Each structure stands twice: as C-alpha cells, then as structure tokens.
Amino acid sequence: MKSNAFLLLVLIMVSACSSKEDLPTVKDVDLNKYQGTWYEIARLPNRFEKGLKCVTANYTLNEDGTIKVINKGINTEDQSKSETAIGKAKVPDAQFPGQIKVSFFGPFYGDYYIIDLDENYQFALVGDPSRKYLWILSRTPRIDDKIYNNLITKAEQQGFSIKELHLTKQDCNL
C-alpha cells in the first residue's frame, strides 16, 4: 500500500513538471555511460520523497532506446520499510539529449533535465524547467565538497532556490 502511495506521489511530481520555462541542459549524454546506480546527494523538498533516506536511482538502457528507471529509498522512521517506484524514460528529441522525459504512471511524462554532467559520469545536476525539482546525484554515497558547492552555484545561477536544498542521508545499504 505504501509503495502505491509513493508511486502516486511520483506521478504527481511528473504531472507538475510541465512548465515551458527555458532551462539549459548538457549538449551530450551517452546513455550507456549514464545508466547504472546514482545516489541522491541532495534534493529540493518534494512530497514523494518526504521521509526517505538512502535514495538511489538506477537507470538501465532498454533495447528500444528507452530507459528503465528504478527509484528506491528507505523510510527514516522505520528502516525496515522501503519505497520503490519503477518507471520509464525517453529522449524525445535527439538534438536535445539532456532533456529527458520520465514516466512512473501511464502516459504522463515529466521533465528530467540534465543541467550538468561530469565528463566521467560521476556526478550530475538534474532539475525541471519550473525550478520546483532539483537533484544532485553521484555515483558514490558522498561527494567532494568542492564539487557539491560548484553544483549548488550552477543551480542557483539557473534560478533554483538552493536555500531549501535538503541533504539526503546515505547511511544504509540498499
């Protein structure tokens, strides 16, 4: 039941991410390199991740070019409970590979814009054009302070409210 609530909240987020405001994205994304597990280092608060820690996103490239998305998190109040949301993603326009669409339910897709991406695919800054959603992702549970601060600066320069940024605890094994 709780997983369904998590999925519903993800759907709400996806539906809300439909603003047409401009947000620059990276010009190149190699989906083969992007796939795998990413740890959430920080995020803007949102309802669908409230009360979660040890949040990860795993991306797997499908044969048809779409991407399987598995988001997981552990309940901060009861670590025996976890939340999982399974969805799919696609790049609708190959000329803009950093502008990805993600769906966790039916035909509804939300924006997943890769704003910054390390050339070695070790960290990423992801948001949406409405500036309501923002994630700092890393291949490891922790990120260097200098890199983190650079990503925060980039997010702020793009109009995100970094004062509200929530650091995600990564103190468990998923």
- pLDDT mean across residues, the chain: 89
Residue 3 has pLDDT above 90, yes or no: no
**Confidence at residue 9, expressed as pLDDT on a 0 to 100 scale:** 38
Look at residue 106 in the predicted model and tell me its pLDDT. 82
What the chain holds in terms of domains, given with CATH numbers, is 2-167 (2.40.128.20)
Residue type, 162: I
pLDDT at residue 161, as a whole number: 96
For residue range 55-83, list pLDDT tens digits in order.
Answer: 999 999 999 999 999 999 999 999 899 99
Residue 135 has pLDDT above 50, yes or no: yes
What are the pLDDT digits (tens) for 85-127?
Answer: 999 999 999 999 999 999 998 889 999 999 999 999 999 999 9
pLDDT in tens, 142-151: 999 999 999 9
